[in-house]
Structure 1
């Protein structure tokens, strides 16, 4: 009887006084690490070189680091966010706007960006969410959307890159702002790597609908995405269940052949050979035909 009362009271609390989306987001998603890099300004103060700590694990020479340009952009919510442009190829047609996963920052991702872009012949532009790396502010769902908007505007105006030559790439929590932006702008393509349907569906897997207090409702935004979408997900993902990727894929109006990586978890999809093979085919064959 006591258990029944406790369950009833919890249920009433959930639906009568539901948690706000910001609290759900904070509990489920945001784990900013200690910054692994710093920005060192040039003589003009408008461009910055990347200075990495040991935890960033840079895999390349110092000369290759010269291909990375850093700067700050200001969001509509007043936060100053760090941005990186990684020049990987002199003849790249596409630039990837990369929204990284949780618990990493631009310093930790910089080596991966250079390696990925070089292998699939794309330049890569990325940014740190509010409260991550050397970006100001605090992580929140609203800031997440403002962050990618600022990154998008910087990529378009500072580098003059046309939407049809931009590929939006989101990984894990990064799929949330990616889907939001892709639902509002048509771009060259979208890659969703380990996407989630919504915050409540991650926390409570039996959730069948989107409640008004849910955070990150990507499942309701994905039907508005008119660009080609490649969904990538590991079948043994222990953080965001494979069913999320499958559901997102099924609701994409222009989904291409997905990549389901058999046996991959949440953080090792990139280690499987088919990951690079599928991205190469998508960028160099499917998007050009």
Structure 2
């Protein structure tokens, strides 16, 4: 039935909605915090203090171009938001939902490097329970987290939806797809996306069970914005078939980037990664 063995079905129906194999593959893995937010005397503004584990690669000048603040989610968690001003004449701001085992401190150098190369500013946030954000990570919380980040980006900086690119990487594609299915934006980038938790844990699954976590595959047909899908063909965490199927289900996809030989964590090291992003943002979106 549906590609699952009898033993797997017994496992699922004896202990839903959290089958052990899903939990093992998709457990949130917040790292040890790599940054602190230091408030001013009035307690109204914050500066970013990075620890050595953040591996900051730039100067104090670039660090001064990063603004950090807290915002509150509908689940009453206080999450950290980061706005990296990477360029003076950016048309687009990327709302970046990062991967599983990193926080904003570890991502800050990457954001500066990426934004300066593709001429975009980058806005990001730490999920509940990550970095200096309060609460605990969960599926419901990451949807509330990106909603709060979206509202903060829109109201605090006055950026219009058509000038926002949603970028999700790995587990970050889950809240990105959820938001993109509800709002039309400038574009969406899905980097190593997963179809759903069940399909990740049980690759032969071809339907969405009622207890299936992260059912992104059922949401992507509702995305009305242009979508670029990126995936490594040798991804050992989220199989390449997930990216391929997500690509096939999105109504407005552009030419995808399948990085031959790349795994889950090294796609950015291949030259075609930056070339494809530049082409998409500077050329393809310019004619839309």
The residue number in structure 2 matching 1:203 is 201
Q: Aligned partners of 2:6 and 2:238: how far apart in 1?
A: 28
2:246 pairs with 1:248? yes
**Structure 1 stretch displaced more, 248-257 or 26-35:** 26-35
Cα drift, residue 44 of structure 1 = 3.7
Check 1:10–1:88 CA distance in 2 against 1; reply closer, same or farther (3 A cut): closer
The residue number in structure 1 matching 2:110 is 112
The residue number in structure 1 matching 2:214 is 216
The residue number in structure 1 matching 2:269 is 271
Unaligned runs of at least 5 residues, structure 1: 1-6
Check 1:182–1:203 CA distance in 2 against 1; reply closer, same or farther (3 A cut): same
| Native 8 Å contact 2:96 2:123 kept in 1 | yes
Which of residues 1, 9, 18 in structure 2 aligns to 1:11? Answer: 9
2:177 pairs with 1:192? no
Q: Aligned partners of 1:283 and 1:229: how far apart in 2?
A: 11
For 1:20-99, what aligned pairs fall within 5 Å after superposition?
20=18, 24=22, 28-99=26-97
| Native 8 Å contact 1:195 1:245 kept in 2 | yes
CA RMSD of aligned residues (A): 1.7
TM-score (normalised: structure 1): 0.94
| Native 8 Å contact 2:190 2:229 kept in 1 | yes
SS at match of 1:83: strand
| Native 8 Å contact 2:12 2:19 kept in 1 | no
Which of residues 134, 137, 147 in structure 2 aligns to 1:136? Answer: 134
The residue number in structure 1 matching 2:176 is 178
| Native 8 Å contact 2:21 2:201 kept in 1 | no
| Native 8 Å contact 1:22 1:215 kept in 2 | no
Q: Aligned partners of 1:255 and 1:177: how far apart in 2?
A: 18
Q: Aligned partners of 1:62 and 1:161: how far apart in 2?
A: 26
Q: Aligned partners of 2:24 and 2:75: how far apart in 1?
A: 18
Cα drift, residue 43 of structure 1 = 3.7
SS at match of 1:211: coil
Cα drift, residue 206 of structure 1 = 1.1
Unaligned runs of at least 5 residues, structure 2: none
TM-score (normalised: structure 2): 0.95
Q: Aligned partners of 1:78 and 1:128: how far apart in 2?
A: 15
| Native 8 Å contact 2:229 2:257 kept in 1 | yes
Which of residues 116, 123, 126 in structure 1 aligns to 2:124? Answer: 126
Cα drift, residue 49 of structure 1 = 1.1
The residue number in structure 2 matching 1:286 is 284
Cα drift, residue 20 of structure 1 = 4.3
Check 1:125–1:34 CA distance in 2 against 1; reply closer, same or farther (3 A cut): same
Cα drift, residue 11 of structure 1 = 3.3
**Structure 1 stretch displaced more, 7-16 or 89-98:** 7-16
Size of the aligned set, in residue pairs, is 283
Q: Which runs of 4+ in 1 moved over 3 A?
A: 7-13, 20-27
Cα drift, residue 29 of structure 1 = 3.6
SS at match of 1:287: helix
Q: Aligned partners of 1:125 and 1:34: how far apart in 2?
A: 22
Q: Aligned partners of 1:21 and 1:68: how far apart in 2?
A: 40
SS at match of 2:204: coil
